[in-house]
Amino acid sequence: MALMTAQEYVESLRKLNTRVYMFGEKIENWVDHPMIRPSINCVAMTYALAQDPQYADLMTVKSSLTGHTINRFTHLHQSTEDLINKVKMQRLLGQKTASCFQRCVGMDAFNAVFSTTYEIDEKYGTRYHENFKKFLTFVQDNDLTVDGAMTDPKGDRSKAPSQQADPDMYVHVVERRADGIVVCGAKCHQTGSINSHWHIFMPTISMGEADKDWAVSFACPTDAEGMYMIYGRQSCDTRKLEEDASIDVGNAKFGGQEALVVLDHVFIPNEYIFLNGEYEFAGMMVERFAGYHRQSYGGCKVGVGDTLIGAAALAAEYNGVEKASAVKDKLIEMIHLNETLYCCGIACSSQGFRTKAGNYQIDLLLANVCKQNVTRFPYEIVRLAEDIAGGLVVTMPSQKDFHSDTVVGRNGETIGEICNKFFATREGVSTEDRQRILRFIENLCLGAAAVGYRTESMHGAGSPQAQRIMIARQGNLQAKKQMAKEIAGIQN
């Protein structure tokens, strides 16, 4: 099958029997639901750009499995150039959507599972690697969107999976059959889960022998029997339900999504199993996936940051303060921080290396440094954007007020006329344009898009402490101490 178009992708979702719940009720037509559709539009952009010759080099690539042209989001990285192009592609999509486009997690899962299954088979003679290659060929040939599902609820985090009062706090095997396994549990914070055709489930932590039943990785269709999603809330999300609220939404076309994905005795055939009890490889899969995903943030968050910097610059211009030295300096600092994140993404990619399986892995230390910076810099970028934009970002009347014909003034002025009068700005800039850019900034800094930019910068791909643990592990402090000893003339 050829690369899907954006419209074909949307229509393909309609063919799924995905079970989606929101506000305590089942959503029958979730594809067209106003709170969900913007996130579908984001994923659709990954298909649309792949059809555009201008972006072909970034968005498409030759498959290492079939030789066919595929979407880069389904690719196994074959070189450091591939790793770099991944980051560039993610920045481009962030610039085009100002939101989370959701396919990164699956792409990162593909590469982590590919190399890990190779090494499991090498040790145990299993067929997980062949299982995975067949699955990924199917994904590539059909240009599917696949969610990478890693984060378990975890319950009491001081206890291992096998020690939990409720075993479902981590996804686990409840029955092993000749033809497959039955699994239960859940995955939290699942970005793009509802918009995906398939899911890849992975362990979320390193495990011991007692946790064998929780050391499991597999693929299953999003509408598998026993699997359902509960949609996650976002700040200001119900604005999307308001009539004619395109301005107040801030980013009316695009958005992200997260959900709780529940597995209630889901059967997984043997051909879709990639890990089943080989507990000592759970940590490897987690570490490799986390490294790839922390690299991703050096692209996607930078692209979204580009749009926020542009919005802040427009807000300054609309307010008539774009020439003020303090404003210029704040914009320079925003650019500096954003490009530093990009540098980290490019650096960990350029220092990548070939795995035993043949695909390329990023430099884990630099990938974790990248994500550690992402937990900080977007917060400062947001602070500076809010500083430049001014308090109207959070005090502006609604879009309906600006259009209201309710008379309130002694001379017959309407609410709409009053709002447009007092929120007017420099000559040549309409009040509506000022509204739009301020709502866009609100959306990125405080609203629904903040989930995919500000807050996700903190918790996505692991919390800040998770990166610090990996930095400590990868930092090779002993070698640095030895360097100092040799130069200082210390012999012991």
Burial of 345 (0-12, 13-18, 19+ CB in 10 A): buried
CA distances to 87, 142, 405, 406 from 414, in Å: 50, 55, 5, 5
Q: Is residue 393 within 8 Å of residue 319, measured between CB atoms? A: no
**Three-state DSSP class for residue 263:** strand
Are 224 and 262 in contact by the 8 Å Cβ rule? The answer is no
Catalytic option among 60, 204, 293, 370: 293
Catalytically annotated residue among 9, 128, 297, 360: 297
**Which residue stretches of 320-430 are H helix?**
325-350, 364-374, 377-389, 392-395, 399-403, 415-422
Residue positions counted in the chain: 492
Which helix (H) or strand (E) covers residue 87, if one does? Answer: helix 80-97
194: burial class by Cβ within 10 Å (0-12, 13-18, 19+)? buried
Per-residue burial over 14-31, b if 16 or more Cβ lie within 10 Å, else e, is: eeeebbbbbeeeebeebb
**Is residue 375 part of an annotated ligand binding site?**
no
348 is catalytic: no
Amino acid (1-letter code) at residue 162: S
Is 403 annotated as catalytic? no
Is 236 catalytic? The answer is no
CA gap 101, 324 in Å, rounded:
35
Give 312's contacts (C-beta < 8 A, 6+ positions apart). 330, 331, 334, 384, 385, 388, 389, 441
CA 488 remoteness from chain centre: 46
Catalytic residue among 18, 42, 60, 100: 100
Q: Is 191 a catalytic residue?
A: yes
Annotated catalytic residue: which of 191, 204, 307, 375?
Answer: 191
DSSP summary character for residue 180: E
Question: Do the Cβ atoms of 370 and 297 come closer than 8 Å?
Answer: yes
Active-site annotation holder among 119, 287, 386, 456? 456
Query: Catalytic site residue 419?
Result: no
Q: What is the amino acid identity at position 354?
A: R
Has 293 been annotated as catalytic? yes
For β-strands 198-201 and 146-149, DSSP reports them as: parallel
- Residue of 33, 170, 199, 258 marked active site: 258
What values do phi and psi take at 217, rounded to 5? -140, 140
> How is residue 477 written in tokens?
């402090």
Q: Which residues are catalytic?
A: 100, 104, 191, 258, 293, 297, 300, 456
Summarize the annotated binding site as residue ranges.
191
Q: Which residues are annotated as a binding site for FAD?
A: 191
